[in-house]
Structure 1
Amino acid sequence: MIEAGKGFWAAALEQYQEKYSGGTLTPEKVREVEAELGYRLPAGYIAISEIQNGGFPVNICYPTDQQNNWADDHVAIVGIFGIGRENQWTLCGELGSQFWVDEWDYPEIGVYFADCPTAGHQMVALDYRECGPQGEPKVVYVDQEDDYSIIELAPDFMTFITGLLPEEHFEADDG
């Protein structure tokens, strides 16, 4: 598990951080959001949300060996949606998981939990297709610009979270 969340969440301008915040996390809120989404959230997602319920991670890049519209060797995220419905970019908020399915025609594979720097043209999701709604989902990158192609990033949420790297890691490789 992430060591008490130390160093995971970045400080951000409060006005932007708030849009991702699910507020105070309670077991009741987790149950309500899971019921609305129709999926059990991974324990790791709940654990990082207990530290801070949504926001911007310090490390935002995840390595991949598959070329995509963002880069040849990685994908990037902006923020992680908080567990709640209080604000725009929370799991059940105005621009939460279901928004991407209803308004942008993203495939119904699970829960969209992280946006990318491409203003909605790529998203990161918990993919429940193999494990079912109560199982441990994979983490995938869905590319709207490439006919909603899906790239598997990690076998589970915690592998994804602990595998995030700083942007500088990839910038150094370019030069």
Structure 2
Amino acid sequence: MSFDLLNFYEEIKKDGIMFCYSGPISQSTVEGIGETLRINMKLEDAGITTANTVFSIFVEQMHNILNYSAERIGQDSESRQQLSLGVLVIGREEKDFYVFCGNRLLNEDVPKLRERIESIRFLDKDELKAIYKQKRRESSDSDSKGAGLGLIEMARKAEKPIEYEFRPLNEIYTFFSIKVVV
């Protein structure tokens, strides 16, 4: 075997990763992983508030993959929709938990997403709350599936500014990564 699974397992344990998923995502995948995450958070002795916050951010990030991933395959037999591809990692750094996800985006979508993240990244909790209320009153963009509320909600729940990266892959795609620390 050319892939050392034991080494991979030991490395992710050492890095504090308690959950890692890569592959096709559907609504039923979100529900199944969500249930496993709730159990795992209890085993990690996370308080109820922390567990709920991690779960909420997990759901937001999985929905971002479902709605915005440019990489799709086949069809989910239940929903008859294409499956979105992405990766999700949940872990712990010292006392903080983090939710980290990534997926391919079309290059043309990068500037708008970068602008949305940068516009909220360093705002305080009161400023984020005000923007969240304002966005809820506005109608969403025609090309958006939520007016950026998910990003704002994640920023509101984060203990540190959202971390992100856009890594160009080729003339069509960029790989987008986002990390939220709770």
Q: Same fold (TM over 0.5)?
A: no
Name the one with the larger helix percent. Answer: 2
TM-score (norm 1): 0.29
Name the one with the larger strand percent. Answer: 2
